[in-house]
Amino acid sequence: MVRSTILHRSPLLKVALLIALGPSALDGSEGRNSAAVHIRTGHQLLEVVGEVDNLAATPDAPLGSSRQFGYVSMLDGVEDIFTDPNPATQNETTAKLTFFTNVKTIRVTPHGPFTIVVREGTTIFYRNSVPASFASPDSFESGEPVVSSTIRQQVIVDIVERTFTVVNVNTITSTRTFDLGDAIVRIGVRGDMIRTSLMGVLRVRDGAPPPTGHFAGSAVGIRRRGED
C-alpha cells in the first residue's frame, strides 16, 4: 500500500479523518510512514465491535445512562490496527484502537413494538497499550486518549425481537498525534463529524438487570459542523 504525507494547513480543506503528519513531526518518528484517509461523504472510514451496559436511573441521570465500549476492527488506509497479523486472533485482546462512550438518556419514546431512546454524552478513542477484555469494560479506556468527541445517539429497540439499531453522530472536540507502529497518525481535526450505524442484540448479563448487548457496525464521514 502506498502511503502519503499530508500537512493540514487550513480549515477550508475537506478534512481527512486521518491527518497524517510528516515523519519529522514527532521526535523519534524518522523512517516511519504517515497515513492519510480523506473524509468523503458516505465513504466508510472505520468499523467497530463492542458491547453496551445500560445503567439504572440516578439523580444525575433520571432516565438512566449507558456505557458503550469496544475496538476498531478496520480503519480505512491503515493496515496494522492489530498487534497480531493472524485474522483468527484479531479481536479486543489484540486491537490497537479502542473506544469508550458515556451517555445519558434524555428521551424515551414507546412506539408500537419499538422503544426509541435518545442519548447524549462523549466518546473517546484510545491507543490501547494492554490487551482489552469485554469482561473488564474499564480496560477499553486504559490506553492513551487520542480523540475526544461529543455524541448524540438514537437507539431503536425492537422489544419483541430484543434487537436494536443505533445511529451515532460524533463531533471531534480534540485530537492528538499518536504512534501506530509503522505509522504516525492523527485522527481528524476539531469539528470533524462522523456518523456510525450499528446493529445489536440485547441480552441479560449474569441473569440480572441491567440489560446489556452486543453490537457491531461502521462509520462514514459527514460534513463538518458549520459547513453548508
CB burial of 170-188 (b: ≥16 within 10 Å; e: otherwise) equals bbbeebebbbbeebbbbbb
Whether pLDDT at 3 is above 90:
no
How much is the pLDDT for 55?
A: 92
How much is the pLDDT for 180?
A: 84
Q: Phi first, then psi: what are they for 140, rounded to 5°?
A: -80, -5
Residue-wise DSSP of 198-220 = EEEEEEEGGGSSSEEEEEEEEEE
Q: Is residue 170 situated within a structural domain?
A: yes
Q: Is residue 96 situated within a structural domain?
A: yes
How much is the pLDDT for 138?
A: 95
Q: Is residue 60 situated within a structural domain?
A: yes
Using DSSP, state whether 156 is helix, strand or coil: strand
Q: What is the mean pLDDT of the chain?
A: 83
How much is the pLDDT for 205?
A: 61
Report whether 48 contacts 91 (CB < 8 A): no
> How does pLDDT run across 26-42, given as a tens digit for each residue?
334 455 566 555 566 77
Q: How many domains does the chain have?
A: 1
Q: Phi first, then psi: what are they for 90, rounded to 5°?
A: -90, 100
Separation CA 218–CA 151 (nearest Å):
15
Q: Single out the residue of 40, 41, 65, 42 nearest to residue 53, CA to CA.
A: 65
Mean pLDDT, rounded, for 111-132: 96
Q: What residues contact 110, with CB distance under 8 A and at least 6 apart?
A: 116
How much is the pLDDT for 76?
A: 83
Q: Is residue 21 situated within a structural domain?
A: no
Q: Is residue 35 situated within a structural domain?
A: no
Quote the domain boundaries for residue 162: 40-176+190-222
Whether pLDDT at 60 is above 60:
yes
Residue-wise DSSP of 67-84 = EEEEEEEEETTB---BS-
Q: Is residue 14 situated within a structural domain?
A: no
In the block, cell 498525534 appears at 177
**More confident site: 115 or 37:** 115
Q: Is residue 49 situated within a structural domain?
A: yes
> How does pLDDT run across 161-196, given as a tens digit for each residue?
999 999 999 999 998 888 887 788 888 888 889 999
pTM above 0.75, yes or no: yes
Q: Is residue 20 situated within a structural domain?
A: no
Report whether 97 contacts 125 (CB < 8 A): yes
CA Rg, the chain, in Å? 18
How much is the pLDDT for 44?
A: 85
Q: Residue 134 — pLDDT band, cuts 50, 70, 90?
A: very high
**More confident site: 54 or 209:** 54
Residue-wise DSSP of 23-42 = TTSSTT-TT-B---EE--BT
How much is the pLDDT for 146?
A: 93
